[in-house]
Amino acid sequence: MVGVFPCFDVNTTLKRGIPVVLLATHETYWNTANMLKPLFLLLCTHFLSVLSTKHVAATSTSSKTDTLRLDLIHQLSSTNVATPRQLEQLLAAALQRAQQPDLAPVVVVGGGLSGLTSALRLLEAGAPVTLVDKRLFWGGNSAKASSGINGGYTTNQKNLGIDDSADQFYEDTMACSGRTNGSLTERLIRRMSDDSQRAVEWIEQYADVELPDVGQLGGHSNARTHRPRNRLAGAAFISGLERAVLKYRKSGLLTVLKGHRMVKLLPVEQTTGKADDLEPEPDQDSSPSPPTGLWDLHLEVVGGSPVTVRASAVVLATGGYANDKGQDGSSLLKEVTPHLMTLRSTNGEFATGDGIKVARELGAGTIDLDMVQVHPTGFSDAPTGFKEDPNNPNSPLVLAAEILRGVGSVLLNSKGERFVNELQTRKFVVEQMKQTGEKQFVLVLPPASASKVEAHVNIYTGKGLLTPVEGLEGVAQYVRTRLHGQSEHIATTFATTTDGTHPVPRNRPTSLPKTGTYHVGVVQPVLHYTMGGLAVDTEGRVMDTSNVPMPGLYGAGEIMGGVSGIVELWNCGIVGLCCCCCCWGWRKSGCCGWLLWLLWMQ
């Protein structure tokens, strides 16, 4: 049997051993005696689904939502019911109404940077959000991002006297993309570069992190990759946004589901709003109408039974598939780039393209799925303290961040030769690596550069990935030992690189003196980033194979295909996803439920 607060005397009812379901408004809940609050939530949790609990316990300030809840309560509490069965029927109908679009939360799937950013923007706007992640902690690959975030013309650039612009960022990205004007990629790049300044400044503010250092990386005509001074960018962004998002927990607007893996997504057909077990009205039309933007997410739970969560809109932010090598036949990498299957990956084992697969089953379009980026510099060694089997082909390798080359590092082959302009695009550097016929290379960070990337050097050295060696001779010895070559050209390489006469000039010169402390490590090409993904329009809406937006389905972050075209410009990963989702607001629409709007992108 159920009871409705405040009409029932809760204590008396409970003493009689009768279960109670409490429905309450914001005010009612907070006016409940403190002692009763845990009981209130416990009972709600016990009797209602996760979603319903959210509605019941939610403390939204939206007047519409409160009115609706008051309406439910009024309906239940003012009805004369003769039997428990009648009350149950009424409650069932009320709960079904509570799951209608007006009240169901937006479910954000993925707790990486794009998921946290989307969630925060939605919460800020007052929308109830359920944030789902298959792992027990948030961060995804975003937590590993180490070089920084690109911005077109930020205050930090201005302060440093860097004369950049959104247009210049757009031109650089277009030049790498290989795409033409009017293509989806071109439209996405336009939006990304136009919004990049606000994205960088937004993340500074909301993740509470300063980005005073701005570096110039491959393919960019200007210094525009922003990074914190003493921390790695991704970890700083994630910890800051995590704090900001979790502040909403108390309000009841945020529900966190960790260890919940989305396995299926099903559109909900519109029904008449009656509970299934109620007697149908004679004139009731029970035939379902087409999907309305409501979704049911099927989630597998770590150590628990599967659950289904209803959503008024879904933001897919499950990241890319650069470690999707599964043997179960579902590997996207095997499907689209079988020739890359032997390469190791910098991505965590969770990067299996789940959102793409789930949406594709529903008829979502995809773009550039075979555009998988190989990064030239993954550290070949397993980091100190690494618990996994380093020979497991799915265990990730640590990235040697681009910024190392950005601040002056060079790459050497076993003869001690430089063979590429290290500031070229990743694709080009990898091609030149292949040309050497060798599989591993030595990354050499010159003495004067180490202080510019102190945080990186400390972390990599601490993990045993970079080794300090003394002078030219120390580097030569390292090359001989680790690459099993003679390093016979190393003296010439050092001299000509320093005086600028080396046949392969760098975009920006670097100096390799004979003495001083160098930091060296062995690197190899690795799978790193997937440029392909779901076809998502400039407003973040997932499109079907006919380019028609699918109601209530959104994509954010690396899951979005097409933003890069065929070559990703260095470090557009984060700004791409920030632009495409830190700008999300939402608005409500009577028939479609929560509708996400990319406000900055209008």
Ligand X SMILES: Cc1cc2nc3c(=O)[nH]c(=O)nc-3n(C[C@H](O)[C@H](O)[C@H](O)COP(=O)(O)OP(=O)(O)OC[C@H]3O[C@@H](n4cnc5c(N)ncnc54)[C@H](O)[C@@H]3O)c2cc1C
Number of chain positions touching ligand X (CB under 6 A):
45
Q: Minimal distance in Å, beta carbon 75 to ligand X?
A: 36
Measured from the Cβ of residue 534, the count of other Cβ atoms closer than 10 Å reads 25
Q: Minimal distance in Å, beta carbon 361 to ligand X?
A: 13
346 binds ligand X (CB under 6 A): yes
Catalytic residue among 261, 405, 519, 541: 405
Q: Which amino acid is at 529?
A: Y
Q: Minimal distance in Å, beta carbon 287 to ligand X?
A: 33
154 binds ligand X (CB under 6 A): no
Phi, psi of 264 (to 5 degrees): -155, 150
577 binds ligand X (CB under 6 A): yes
In the region spanning residues 205 to 224, those forming contacts with ligand X, defined by CB under 6 A, are none
Half-sphere exposure of 576 (CA within 13 A, CB side): 30
510 binds ligand X (CB under 6 A): no
Of 188, 207, 233, 535, which one interacts with ligand X (CB under 6 A)? 233
376 touches 436 (CB < 8 A): no
459 binds ligand X (CB under 6 A): no
228 binds ligand X (CB under 6 A): no
Q: Minimal distance in Å, beta carbon 211 to ligand X?
A: 12
10 binds ligand X (CB under 6 A): no
* 3-state secondary structure (DSSP) of residue 316: strand
Nearest to 134 by CA among 284, 276, 317, 293: 317
Q: Closer CB to ligand X, residue 72 or residue 235?
A: 235
203 touches 237 (CB < 8 A): yes
Question: Residues, the chain, total?
Answer: 602
Q: Which amino acid is at 544?
A: D
- Structure-token match 């470690």, residue found: 323
In the region spanning residues 310 to 339, those forming contacts with ligand X, defined by CB under 6 A, are 317-319
Active site residue 519: no
**Exposure string over 378-405, b if 16+ CB within 10 A, otherwise e:** bbbbbeeeeeeeeeeebbbbbbbbbbbb
Report which DSSP code applies to 310: E
578 binds ligand X (CB under 6 A): no
Q: Minimal distance in Å, beta carbon 521 to ligand X?
A: 15
Q: Closer CB to ligand X, residue 353 or residue 416?
A: 353
In the region spanning residues 513 to 542, those forming contacts with ligand X, defined by CB under 6 A, are 528-529
Computed from CA positions of residues 511, 512, 514, 515, in that sequence, does the dihedral angle turn out positive or negative? positive
The contact mask relative to ligand X for 397-426 (x = CB under 6 A, - = no) is --x---------------------------
Residues 6+ apart with CB under 8 A from 152: 164, 165, 166, 167, 168, 169, 170, 193, 194, 196, 197, 224
Catalytic residue among 260, 375, 418, 528: 375
**Span near ligand X by CB under 6 A; candidates 195-203, 243-251, 347-355, 360-368:** 347-355
146 binds ligand X (CB under 6 A): yes
What is the rounded distance in angstroms from the CA atom of residue 234 to the CA atom of residue 114? 12
112 binds ligand X (CB under 6 A): yes
111 binds ligand X (CB under 6 A): yes
Nearest to 563 by CA among 546, 545, 576, 550: 576
Active site residue 375: yes
**Span near ligand X by CB under 6 A; candidates 1-9, 10-18, 131-139, 509-517:** 131-139
145 binds ligand X (CB under 6 A): yes
Cα 356-362-368 angle, rounded to 5 deg: 40
- Structure-token match 């309906």, residue found: 75
Q: Closer CB to ligand X, residue 24 or residue 207?
A: 207
162 touches 222 (CB < 8 A): yes
Report which DSSP code applies to 331: -
Paired sense of beta strands 254-258 and 129-133, if any:
parallel
Q: Minimal distance in Å, beta carbon 207 to ligand X?
A: 13
In the region spanning residues 425 to 454, those forming contacts with ligand X, defined by CB under 6 A, are none
Maximum CA extent, the chain = 96
Binding residues vs ligand X (CB under 6 A): 109-115, 132-135, 138, 140-142, 144-149, 233-234, 261-262, 317-319, 346-347, 350-351, 354, 399, 528-529, 557-559, 571-575, 577
Would you please indicate which residues are annotated as catalytic (active-site) residues?
375, 405
